[in-house]
Amino acid sequence: MISTAEVKQIAKELGFHACGVSRAERLENQAERLFEWISKGYHGTMSYMERNTDLRLDPTMLVSDVKSVISVLLSYNTGELPVNLNPLKIARYACRTDYHTFMKQRLWRMLEVIRERFGSVSGRAFVDSAPVLEREWAVRAGLGWIGKNSMLINRALGSYVFIGELIVDIEIEQTPHYESNRCGTCSRCMEACPTGAIVSPGVIDARRCISYLTIEKKEPLTTNEAKMLSGWCFGCDVCQEVCPWNARSTRVDGAGQGTSGFHDFSTTQFANMTEVEFTARFGNTPLMRAGYERIAKIIKLSKKREA
């Protein structure tokens, strides 16, 4: 059996900040939680969450002969604050090259290196992929706990981390360490959430969450939803900004994670961009997930309320 230490070493060589391994099996403990969340309608219009729940809970249905799930973390906590174009704010992770691209590339490279060192291995890489409950896999790999804000929190890195998985058909020793929940009596994230979207510890009602409203919701925002945005036009970092684990977390060098397109940029420029200009400047960033039209509409709504 391959040791966790060997896999962790490969992850480190490739620039990941943390890595752990868990056994590929059905996430029995998540089934009830997931079904309850969906039955309460907390997923909003993300109807894809209602589909393929079996695949989401069981990686053995995603990849044949799967044995192990390798989870990796890449911190993007470079110390930069969320972009605040006052009154418009953009979540930290969105102000650089879309992480899906470089995380996937690194994961595929990791699979190649594993093959070079250990022989024939089949697997698939996932990054922020709907069929995979990535935070739970990271917890099982000993990489942290799920905070009351529902984010994975790593003791050293905090929650500003990208999570990825390699699901492979080889036996790898599991990470022996399992991190306990260290939120304790803190509830800063629940108190700070501007919309009351954290309905109970670790449970988010997406319909009230600014991240969902600005990124995931495809339909036009209602008047009430538009009022909830608190100046955010893509994502929201409030429940992470207030987390003491982020305040004390290790800052990383953001080299290799792309650059921000927001340097020397003003709200007025942002508000007056044409679609062509928007794509030229932000075409390689997560902002494209929402797209020009949606962001332009949100900016207009914000400016209208400011006036």
Report the alpha-carbon distance of residue 295 to residue 289 in Å, rounded.
10
Q: Which residue in 68, 149, 260, 302 binds ligand SF4 (CB under 6 A)? A: 149
Q: Which stretch binds ligand SF4 (CB under 6 A): 67-75, 94-102, 143-151, 276-284?
A: 143-151
DSSP string for residues in the chain? -B-HHHHHHHHHHTT-SEEEEEE----HHHHHHHHHHHHTTTTTT-GGGGS-HHHHH-GGGTSTT--EEEEEEEE--SSPPPEE-SS-EE-GGGGSS-HHHHHHHHHHHHHHHHHHHHS---EEEEES-TT--HHHHHHHTTS-EE-TTS-EEBTTTBT-EEEEEEEESS-BPPPS--PPP--TT--HHHHH-TT--EEETTEE-GGG-HHIIIII--SPPPHHHHHHTTTEEE---HHHHT-HHHHTSPP---TTS---TTTT--HHHHHT--HHHHHHHHTTSTHHHH-HHHHHHHHHHHHHHH-
| Catalytic residue list contains 128 | yes
Our finding on whether 287 is near ligand SF4 (CB under 6 A) is no
Q: Does 139 bind ligand SF4 (CB under 6 A)?
A: no
Q: How far is the CB of 256 from ligand SF4 (least distance, A)?
A: 26
**Contact flag: residue 285 with ligand SF4 (CB under 6 A):** no
Choose, by CB under 6 A, the member of 189, 252, 287, 295 that binds ligand SF4: 189
Q: If binding means CB under 6 A, how many residues of this protein chain bind ligand SF4?
A: 24
Q: Is 75 in the site for ligand SF4 (CB under 6 A)?
A: no
> Is the bond preceding residue 131 a cis peptide, omega within 30 degrees?
no
The verdict on 198 binding ligand SF4 (CB under 6 A) reads yes
Selected from 11, 69, 197, 295, the binder of ligand SF4 by CB under 6 A is 197
Cα–Cα distance between 12 and 72 in angstroms, integer?
Answer: 10
Q: Binding residue for ligand SF4 (CB under 6 A) from 193, 252, 287, 295?
A: 193
Q: How far is the CB of 240 from ligand SF4 (least distance, A)?
A: 7
Smallest separation, CB 166 to ligand SF4 (Å): 27
| Contact with ligand SF4 (CB under 6 A) among 3, 52, 187, 266 | 187
Give the binding range for ligand SF4 (CB under 6 A) out of 1-9, 42-50, 68-76, 179-187: 179-187
Annotated catalytic residue, options 65, 128, 169, 264: 128
**Minimum distance, C-beta of residue 111 to ligand SF4, in the bound complex (Å):** 32
Nearer to ligand SF4, 4 or 211 (CB): 211
Q: Which residues are catalytic?
A: 128
Q: Which residues are at the interface with ligand SF4 (CB under 6 A)? A: 147-149, 153, 183, 186-189, 193, 195, 197-198, 204, 209-211, 236, 238-239, 242-245
